Chain A
């Protein structure tokens, strides 16, 4: 289910009427007092599915709770109501079994479409391997546009100022941790994952020690990083920007301090960046005296 697909086919009326729950702004990163899911910045997003399900629930809720409140006001003993004797109605029971089934079939149809789209990682133009460690991420660039990437990979962990501020009773103000005016406390890393926009990127996600989960809300999904299993997922980011997320599976004491930052660049800029990284890797590997640089091999897992 691309957000566009659903938007066209079913939910124009729903999205039109959602009022306060969705301000017109697309909020890619968490904002203060944010009430709703981000619309996301990638081609595949569950936002529309979420809104449809939410409004289905709201409508059913209004009907059911409305009936309850009417019952509570009309059939009070203090208003002289006398209890009736009936306690069964096959017709009613058939009705309120069949109607929910129809609604569920409708929702299941939407959701199945969404799953099928998300499961399809074919046609990817780029592959990034993501490895979760206690408590940092490793990114290895595997290929780009059908060509292997030469030894570009790095660790990405919570940046300095957040790390200092988050120490117990540090007395440092989390509000002061900012990047370009956005308060990035616990949502910023020393080295972000850099990717191009408008490119179908396949992620191969594994766990280095325990189970982690790689989650950037703006991309619309999370995927567990499990030792011994290679999971795949994909994204195609539409707009350049910096998108922030966090590990979403309890992975030990610093689980809350394991942010993810994805920096989406226009294709040309990304290609420049990738070339510079490859050159750096080559330069490092060049001096024969130096230990063989093997950034592709996973670093030893720190024991916690």
Chain B
């Protein structure tokens, strides 16, 4: 039994002594996972601070706090930091921590590369954030960096170098995850017995490898246009500004699925645990993730319905985009069916997962509306879009990460977090996030464009409500920080190996906290002990 095997051995493998040895030189998947999670939480607060500047300026009509150019820097940096600094690294951190535990591997396949792929990131973000203090300011052309506007910026070289570094880090992380999943599974852990979270990351990692080089290519072309007088995107020199958008969104659309597929995996682990019933339709869930990943490659131009595409292209991209609703719908229906007939309890991870299913689906609905090209002629580049992608990225991706942290924190730290404060954090977040983003649907429909620092007085009321929700949501995350710090360092309540009554899967067979080295001897797989139940019947 895996449990005893790890107990026998873990005494012989202590964590390295000394802070530098342990945390900087680390090749251990658990320590690197922790580093990723701490880094992404830090970035979440930095990106959140930028959002607070945005909501403060938009609190009422008239310019009160910042210059318009600085406002644009804030919107751009908020997006870059949240996407590349908060959401993606936290998923990589979860992958680092959980994938080896879930497939019964002693570590990641390429531990030294794992260290490198983490340590690139802090430097990339120092470089990116330092542009805010440079003469000329940081990038202000939006995270999409559309030329020719982005080429007017002074800091484009720094931004692009930072993006290159992030891309290298992501690609190395993805290679490591694929190598681990394909080569390091314990005997008997067939591909179709893997937890859905592992499946979701396997597919996400392929998306990363496919599209990060595309982004690198696009931004390198920007760089040569700016400094070496090429004309890829310069109409006066025979280039085409729309070419950049095609290349960017060929990366950018799979990118948004990179930020949601691991969330699907997390939710598919948590709901069965607290419903005490295996996931409904395991194979359909895996197949749905794979089909969403495939479709994500052929829908990029739905971000560009208003650039004047030929009608045939608009129709193709509209149909392809609408198709995504089918596998996504299957996932939502399967989560509901998993709950149906279960025996549910509502601990904090479950609350966040349920909120995820409902609010992510609302984001999916506005996504379906946006897919309809004629209606998109109105929605495009308005606050309706802002509301849409914040529903899928905040109440989707970010909520799933919070659910995962509450779910696996006992395994990481060996202590239970405070359930009361976890629930306070949940209710405060879930109410405020709707106060924050729901009114933005109305603003967009009424005609407020996105990325504007000031607006007509007709938009005043909903902006004020949205800003209040924003400050409230921001403050709620301080509770999160408190709960995590308490749960890691100060909580008196020891976590059991199987921290949750209904929890199944290999990660719950090792002690809590998970010892520095696990699975020196490959565990034996019992089909009925898998998170999704015995898939044979």
Contacts and interface: CB of A to CB of B under 8 A. Distances in A.
B295 interface: no
10 A-B pairs with least C-beta separation: A228-B235, A256-B452, A114-B374, A231-B308, A221-B377, A57-B365, A34-B446, A30-B458, A84-B341, A83-B276
A263 interface: no
A30 B382 CA distance: 13
B315 interface: yes
A185 interface: yes
16 contacts: A32-B460, A46-B375, A72-B339, A76-B346, A89-B281, A93-B284, A104-B326, A115-B311, A166-B62, A184-B456, A217-B378, A226-B307, A228-B235, A231-B307, A245-B447, A253-B140
A270 to B, nearest CB: 25
Given A71-B342, A93-B334, 7 more contacts: A30-B446, A77-B276, A78-B345, A84-B341, A87-B532, A112-B315, A213-B381
Interface string B325-362: 11001101110111111111110000000100110011
Interface residues of A, number: 103
Nearest to B460: A32
Interface of A: 1, 29-38, 46, 49-50, 53-54, 57, 60-61, 64-65, 67-68, 71-72, 75-78, 81-89, 92-93, 96-97, 100-101, 104, 107-108, 110-112, 114-116, 118-119, 165-170, 172-175, 183-187, 205, 207, 209-211, 213, 215, 217, 220-224, 226-229, 231-232, 245-257, 304
A67 B336 CA distance: 7
B472 interface: no
B279 A87 contact: yes
Nearest to B323: A104
A246 B456 CA distance: 10
B27 interface: no
B56 to A, nearest CB: 13
Interface of B: 61-64, 66-69, 72, 140-142, 146, 148-149, 152, 235-236, 239-242, 275-282, 284, 306-308, 311, 314-315, 318-319, 322-323, 325-326, 329-330, 332-334, 336-346, 354, 357-358, 361-362, 365-366, 368-369, 372-375, 377-378, 380-382, 442, 445-462, 502, 532-533
B62 A170 contact: yes
Contact of B378 (A46, A61, A89, A210): A46
Nearest to B458: A30
A61 B361 contact: yes
Contacts, number: 308
B72 A32 contact: no
A111 B318 contact: yes
B152 A252 contact: yes
A79 B140 CA distance: 55
A30 B459 contact: yes
B236 A93 contact: no
Contacts of B236: 227-228
